[in-house]
Amino acid sequence: MKSKWLSGPYILWMALFTLIPLGVVFYYAFTDSVTGAFTLDNLANIGNYLPIFLRSIWLSIFATVICLLIAYPVAYYIAHCKPGTQRFLQMMVMLPMCMSFLLRTLAWVALLEDTGIINNLISAIGLEPLPLIRNNGAVILGMVYNYLPYMILPLYTVIMKIDPRLIEAAQDLGCNSRQVFSKVILPLSVPGIVSGITMVFVPAVSTFYISQKLGSPGTILIGDVIESQFKSAYNPNLGAAMSLVLMILIFVCVGIMNRFTNDEEESMVTL
């Protein structure tokens, strides 16, 4: 009974600031921007923007995979340091998050531009400047840089909590280090991987600033289109319809992923 009372404020908060706004999004998505009458036009027109939805999802998938590949070794390393070093390294991971997301992205612009720091250095030593900015690669780089901490932290927490006795037991029973990793450490860190992937993929799909700064007009993402509908085109209805479709697509992607990891976990346990 007591615990129910304690969760009251959060339920109220969620109702006020999550469920009701979601209802508003629904309402806007199904009404006309001028007359306010019920219409399916907004959703019917979404098909025109399918390529942009696809690109947003693909770029985010690439960014998420790269994040995972970078973050796993880092998290593993941090989790096996001395407690003092761990705290320090953890802070180093968090440090960029203390700075504004916009500033960090602008800093990358200054680095990568045609007349930016890196290209100035390259041309100073007599080489051709590289096309570092305004391509898909730069957008993915921006996403990886900005969302990497969200992948490292859950992985670190999970890996740190793995009971060292389990690893010792595996070694006792004749596992070599590769087998220890693939049969013990990796399966036990699956929850961290899942939450890391979700925490990187979901904000990356709907991101809008990174692609404007680091991408070209050809690498516009769905977040940019939604932003423009609210900011300058004054068509919140189309923007709401897009957000709704994006939300459903994210649910589908995350759902597929969870399905696989569940299967994986089950099969691991039954082994």
Partner 1 sequence: MKKTRILCLFLALILCLPFFALTASAAETVTINVYNWGQYIADGTDDSMDVIEEFETVYPNIKVNYMTFDSNESMYTKLKAGGSSFDIIIPSDYMVQKLIEEDMLEELDFSNIPNFAYIDDSFKNPDYDPENRYSVPYTWGAVGVIYNSKYVDEADVGKWDLLWNVSYMGQILMFDNPRDAFAVAQLDLGYSINSEDFTELTNAADLLREQKPMVQAYVMDQVYDKMQRGEAWVAPYYAGDYLMMVEENPDLAFYYPEEGYNLFVDAICIPKGAEHKKEAELFINFLTDPEIMGPNLEYLGYSAPSQAAKEYMDPEIASDPIAYPDEETLERGSSFRSLSLEGTQEMNRLWLQVKTADTATTVYSILTIAAIMLVILLWIFFKVRKRRKKARRCQKWKTTA
**Quick one: 135 or 171, whose CB is closer to partner 1?**
135
SS3 (DSSP) at 43: helix
CB of 195 to partner 1, least distance (A): 21
Taking the alpha carbons of 44, 46, 51, 56 in that order, is the dihedral positive or negative?
negative
The type of residue at 26 is F
| Cα 217 from Cα 80, distance rounded (Å) | 44
CB of 216 to partner 1, least distance (A): 7
| Cα 225 from Cα 208, distance rounded (Å) | 8
| Cα 258 from Cα 104, distance rounded (Å) | 31
CB of 109 to partner 1, least distance (A): 9
CB of 54 to partner 1, least distance (A): 4
Rule CB under 8 A: which residues touch partner 1? 33-34, 48-49, 51-52, 54-55, 57-58, 113-115, 134, 212, 216-218, 220, 225, 228-235, 256, 259-260, 263, 266-267, 270
CB of 264 to partner 1, least distance (A): 8
Q: Residue 31: beta bridge partners?
A: 38
**Quick one: 11 or 130, whose CB is closer to partner 1?**
130
**Quick one: 11 or 102, whose CB is closer to partner 1?**
102
**Quick one: 85 or 216, whose CB is closer to partner 1?**
216
| Cα 94 from Cα 178, distance rounded (Å) | 30
**Quick one: 87 or 231, whose CB is closer to partner 1?**
231
Among residues 221, 259, 268, 222, the alpha carbon closest in space to that of 241 is found at: 222
CB of 82 to partner 1, least distance (A): 23
Which distant-in-sequence residues (6+ apart) come within 8 Å of 108 by Cβ? 138, 141, 142, 145, 213, 214
**Quick one: 18 or 267, whose CB is closer to partner 1?**
267
